[in-house]
Amino acid sequence: MKNRTPPRQGSGHQHKKEFGQNFLNNGRVIDRIVAAIRPQAEDHMVEIGPGEAALTEPLLSVVAHLDILEIDQDLIGPLKARFALCPAFHLHHADALSFDYAQLLKSPEASLRVVGNLPYNISSPLLFHLLKYANNLIDMHFMLQKEVVERICAAPGSKTFGRLSVMMQYYCQTEYLFEVGPENFTPPPKVDSAIVRLLPYRQKPLLAHDEALFENFVRQCFALKRKTLRNNLKGWLNAEQIEACGIDPSARAETLPVAAFVQLCNYYQQAASQPTPPDLV
């Protein structure tokens, strides 16, 4: 793939901190991201936060349908001026955090591919919001704060393993692709960035019986840092019940694999539904 020209500079747009606007300015980095995404002609793709269209332009040159979500009213006009005549271009002035992505599906069985340079201040809640639509997502490629990507892809026992790691790895295969330094943005952020690939499971290798409960259960396991499962799960499971799952009650949540959280939550759900201790699940 040949190097593309960098995105347009000098547009006069005032970058807004409340929207976390740090726009890519390096054509080679943009090419590398597009190569990682591997857009195909038949793709129905969604781009969150196009900014000054660094990724939008190369994506539109390939895909059949690109839905774009932009919250900043000041960017709507320039985007329409550049791409309104492109048949693949569909712009939504919307907040990605509350947007109903199901409305983009042409049928209940249809699938989307999602990409974006996500604002650092909303990245985690936005990821959790997107997980609601995981069954209709082929993949997600995001630029995020490097620390967030490390947390998403972290292994149990590492300093960065936590609630975000468990939830993302429950729903998706996660892959840290590459780092992008601050010098590749306008204005340059004060942190390093990285690209992550998320592939939602078509059939999950682990299955929580109640996924809404599972999210709350995992949050409780990590409620107090440095506390043991015995302490964090008071009122949920006692030490004997945790041990019945083959897990040490004195262990900390960050040391457990994802499978252990699923097992504990399923045990809790079954225990709560009957007066006698359940068989292990």
Tell me, yes or no, whether 168 lies in a domain.
Answer: yes
Residue 4 has pLDDT above 60, yes or no: no
Q: Between the CA of residue 8 and those of 33, 68, 84, 196, what are the distances in Å? A: 18, 18, 17, 25
Q: Which residue would you say has higher pLDDT here, 245 or 118?
A: 245
The pLDDT of residue 272 is: 85
CATH number at residue 245: 1.10.8.100
Confirm whether 82 is domain-assigned: yes
Q: What is the pLDDT of residues 207-260, one digit of tens each?
A: 999 999 999 999 999 999 889 999 999 999 999 999 999 999 999 999 999 999
Query: 103 versus 275: which is more confidently predicted?
Result: 103
For 100-138, give one letter per residue: b (16+ CB within 10 A) or e.
ebeebeeeeeeebbbbbbbbbebbbebbbbbbebbebbe
Structural domain includes residue 206: no
Residue 2 domain-assigned? no
pLDDT, one tens digit per residue, over 46-95 is 999 998 899 999 999 999 999 999 999 999 999 999 999 999 999 999 99
Inside any domain, residue 281: no
Are residues 105 and 221 both part of a single domain? Answer: no
**Confidence band (pLDDT; 50, 70, 90) for 121?**
confident
Q: What's the burial of 183, exposed, middle or buried (CB within 10 Å: 0-12/13-18/19+)? A: exposed
Long-range CB contact pairs, 244-252, < 8 A, 24+: 244/277, 244/280, 245/280, 246/280, 252/226, 252/227, 252/228
Tell me which residue range forms the domain holding 149.
Answer: 17-200
Q: Domain check: are 176 and 146 in the same one? A: yes
CA–CA gap between residue 181 and residue 189 (Å, rounded): 9
Distances (CA, A) of 50 to 68, 87, 137: 7, 17, 19
Average pLDDT of the chain, as a whole number: 90
My answer on whether 81 and 218 are in the same domain is no
C-alpha distance across the termini of the chain, in Å? 50
**Domain assignment present for 166:** yes
Looking at the structure, tell me whether residues 149 and 25 fall in a common domain. yes
Same domain, 177 and 150: yes
The DSSP line for 193-225 is EEEEEEEE-SS-SS--S-HHHHHHHHHHHTSST
